[in-house]
Structure 1
Amino acid sequence: MLAMSSPRRLLVVDPYEDCHQLLPELQKMGWSVDSCSLTSVVGRSCDVVLFRLLSEHLEHPAPLKEMISRSGAQWIAVVSPEVLKIKNVGDFVYEWFFDFHTLPFDVARVQVTLGRAFGMARLRDQMLNHVDTQTHELLGESRSVRELRKLIGKFAPSESPVLIRGESGTGKELVARSLHRQSLRHDQPFVAINCGAIAEHLIQSELFGHEKGAFTGAHQRKIGRIEAANGGTLLLDEIGDLPLELQANLLRFLQEKHIERVGGVNPIPINVRVLAATHVDLEAAIHSGGFREDLYYRLNVLQVSTAPLRELHGDLSLLANHFCRIYSLEAGRRPRPFSEGALIAMANHAWPGNIRELANRVRRGLILAEGRQIEAADLGLDVPTHTVLRMDTLEDYKHRAERQALCDVLHRHATNLSAAAKVLGVSRPTFYRLLHKHQIR
């Protein structure tokens, strides 16, 4: 039934003599078999790759590592007893292959190994397809993210300014890029400037540009960020850090729709949509005299807010796996799943640095992980001793299954706990008791 509904595609790389008797048997079992050379793997459509690992591959592993990293399939190493004796071959197979098979071939054992690899490939495809169905980079199924995507879809076609608010590290620039990508200006420039990361004496030149000789060191004309964004979208990130003097100049530009470069006298008409982002409480800044009220109302025509990671219930593992796939290529390692302890540690962490902190911890964990899974320690997180699960009793397995069921139902019904309890067939008080028992926030 599995082979009929989901064709199982096997790619044999650099076929060898021992395969001739094996492949017909696999074809009878429902496998669609193809073959190619190692240099032709990328671009071939398959679920599982069967590869004969030889000593020369271990001596010069870079081409093989690149192909495995880029192929996206699950690789099975076929090794001879002689190759298994080579120093560090076990570490190499453990790092880069889903599993291995020792020659001579045993059809029954090969079938089991390939079946497990195919199952993992299908799980991977389901996750990737789920991500690919999103038309933007704002991943997540929590209520906050769904509402944010809906709001962006409404605001994107407008020409009105948008004020994006949220804590540091919550993806405000990502929201701005999504607004631009879905707007009528999507084929025009998107230019971002961080108003809090540029020295105060340089901000005016960065925003408006300058003419040659406008000041000491101005050896040639410079086009500012506003002018560079002409026709497209300008993001003023951390607008709350913009000095008051520059706030007046910015307000004048928003009112008059033209700029003058520093040292220039000719007005330059500008057609740009302005987005602004801040983690600062602008209302409080207005009250204290640190931000102009008239500029605030110019920028705050439409408003969106990004939620902190601690409020994105059910999205944590999705985002963590997303970053794991991204940074696996950078680290030159295969993506790894997160252990039970790592998931518990992440669920209990406060994430003061939000999504940026999660990305950095996953990046670190992928580099430090020594086993097949990323552990809490690899992420720099601690697991409470009473939540560490042993795998030696039936009760432990029941505990794991119960927790997994809670996580699964919360992923679907994070905004309706009554519905989540109903799906599990328990009362709402019992559901809350289970959440407390498993320390799921």
Structure 2
Amino acid sequence: MHDLASIRRLLIVEPCEECLQLVPGLRIAGWDVDSCTLEEAALRPCDVGLIRLLPEHFAHPEVVKSLISRSNTEWIAVLTSEDLRREHIGDFVCEWFFDFHTLPFDVARVQVTLGRAYGMARLRGKDASHSNGLFVGENPGQQLLGESRPMRELRRLLGKLAPTESPVLIRGEGGTGKELIARTLHGQSQRREQPFISVNCGAASEGLLQEELFGDAGETVDASRQRKPGRIEEANGGTLFLDGIGDLPLDVQANLLRFLQDRHIQVAGERVPVDVRVLAATHVDLEAAIRMKRFREDLYYRLNVLQVGTAPLRERHGDLALLANHFAQFYSRETGRRARNFSQDALVAMGKHDWPGNVRELENRVRRGLVLAEGRQIEAFDLGLLGEEEISSSMATLDEYKSRAERQALCDVLTRHSDNLSVAAKVLGISRPTFYRLLHKHQIR
């Protein structure tokens, strides 16, 4: 029997036959293994996630990106070597996943990777200040990173709103740190010692979300097992954060409104009081959703008592270099590489980029840059951005494009398999002699 503190939770998403064959050995090694579909994944707590990437995930990567960006889990991709040859898949996997494995599995390497991922998950858990990339200092909620005017005004506003018990609606684009703001409000409130419970309202189907919020119905629970409480009950005494409230199905909206009105839930036919402060976040226009009959106006007024807006990164003048250097310092520990600063060309390229994914995109690009950088500095190319010279002369000959792609493929595969060059060559679908010839050609290693 494993001590509760030592249990390592692994979630296998869209498990294939080869994935399921790993389960007995992983359980012997001390992993608590669960499996589910991609739709259910956001509702299953875990330390490490293993996801079998399917063709539909490559066609619609935003679904996978949403899952990864909304969780503090370390995710590992499982795919075939043929999948890696698809256009842009290498960048997708490198940017969004802790690591990846190609089928068939190298079982020994799987064990090592899972162990490293679990270690990083524990590190993130101990220092949640880095999970959304906006905190600075040891204690989450103490300070928001950034000295731009929008950030100074935000800190001042949160200091006023945190001590109140009123609901707060947090509005802003994706990747601007809305959950971070909710955690700050909780951390500076009288409820700071009580639970902070976060629910992603767009992560599951209506039925699953209803059960996630309110728990088992009670009357339908088998006598042989204990009733599973909902997230509202788990937040009793603390704060309930409803992320993506605009995605909440209408039937669940009605039940949530009923709870907000009388602060009771139904358990086995009985009304049970629950004391929570409700915070909600949205990136959609709720007023437009009300006009289109997709969001209840009475629920809107219940949630929108106080309001906070998050500024997109492109409007936070002066914060870009500060945040980028913060991520570079933090992720240098993860990669085991020495900390690198940014070249002037990279800083210019970052300044010209629009950052549609905001702080989350910056975090991911810096993480990618640390992995790919070979010189003493992180260059614009390492971040996936065009530098000054490339912008002015972005067109090149076909041979030059091929050479760049060839070198990038070598760098990507060495990032993952530098300890096993035979595997690296196999992933690229070339012989080992050819692999060594290409390394020499591009002056790598």
Instruction: Give the TM-score taking structure 2 as reference length.
Output: 0.55
| Counterpart among 175, 181, 200 of residue 169 in structure 1 | 175
Structure 1 partner of 2:332: 328
1:78-93 alignment runs, 5 A limit: none
Q: 1:266 to 1:217 in 2, by over 3 A?
A: closer
Deviation at 1:200, TM superposition (A): 1.8
Q: 1:349 aligns with which of 353, 366, 375?
A: 353
1:269 matched to 2:265: no
| 2:185 is the alignment partner of 1:179 | yes
Q: Report Cα offsets for 1:100-128 as digits up to 9, x if no partner.
A: xxxxxxxxxxxxxxxxxxxxxxxxxxxxx
Structure 1 unaligned residues grouped into runs of 5+: 1-129, 389-441
Question: Pick from 287, 291, 306: which aligns with 2:291?
Answer: 287
Contact 1:192 1:234 in 2 (8 A): yes
Structure 1 residue 133: Cα displacement: 10
Aligned to 2:265: 259
State whether structure 2 residue 249 is matched by structure 1 residue 238. Answer: no
Partner secondary structure for residue 341 of structure 2: coil
- Distance in 2 (CA, whole Å) between partners of 1:218 and 1:366 is 52
How far off is 1:220 after superposition?
3.8
SS at match of 1:178: helix
SS in 2 for 1:267: strand
Judge conservation of contact 2:136–2:144 (CA < 8 Å) in 1.
no
Rate the CA distance shift 1:362–1:384 in 2: closer, same or farther, 3 A: same
Uncovered stretches (5+) of structure 2, i.e. residues with no partner:
1-134, 393-445
TM-superposition CA deviations, 1:308-351 (whole Å, max 9, x none):
11100000011111111221111111221111011011000010
Shift of 1:199: 2.1
Work out the percentage of aligned pairs sharing the same amino acid: 67
State the Cα distance separating 1:219 from its structure 2 match. 5.1
Which of 282, 305, 311 lines up with 1:307 in the alignment?
Answer: 311
Alpha-carbon distance in 2 for matches of 1:386, 1:240: 41
Cα distance, 1:217–1:335 mapped onto 2, change above 3 Å: farther
Segment of structure 1 superposing worse, 226-235 or 213-222: 213-222
1:266 partner amino acid: E
Measured at CA, do residues 344 and 244 of structure 1 come closer, stay the same or move farther in structure 2, by a change above 3 Å? same
Which letter does structure 1 place at the counterpart of 2:200? N
Question: Rg larger in 1 or in 2?
Answer: 1
Partner of 2:234: 228
Deviations 1:120-176 (A, max 9, x none): xxxxxxxxxx95499635211111111111100000000000000000000000000
Q: What letter is aligned with 2:324?
A: A
Q: What secondary structure is seen at the aligned counterpart in 1 of 2:378?
A: coil
| Alignment-derived partner of residue 368 in structure 2 | 364
In the TM superposition, what whole-angstrom CA distance separates every residue of 1:392-440 from its partner, at most 9, and x where no partner exists? xxxxxxxxxxxxxxxxxxxxxxxxxxxxxxxxxxxxxxxxxxxxxxxxx
Alignment of structure 1 residues 46-85 onto 2, 5 Å: none
Cα distance, 1:343–1:294 mapped onto 2, change above 3 Å: same
Number of aligned residue pairs: give it. 257
Question: Could you say which residue in structure 1 is the equivalent of 2:9?
Answer: none
- The answer (yes or no) to whether the contact 1:210–1:221 under 8 Å persists in 2 is yes
The answer for the alignment partner of 1:379 in structure 2 is 383
Backbone CA RMSD of aligned residues: 2.3
In the TM superposition, 1:147-166 aligns within 5 A as: 147-166=153-172
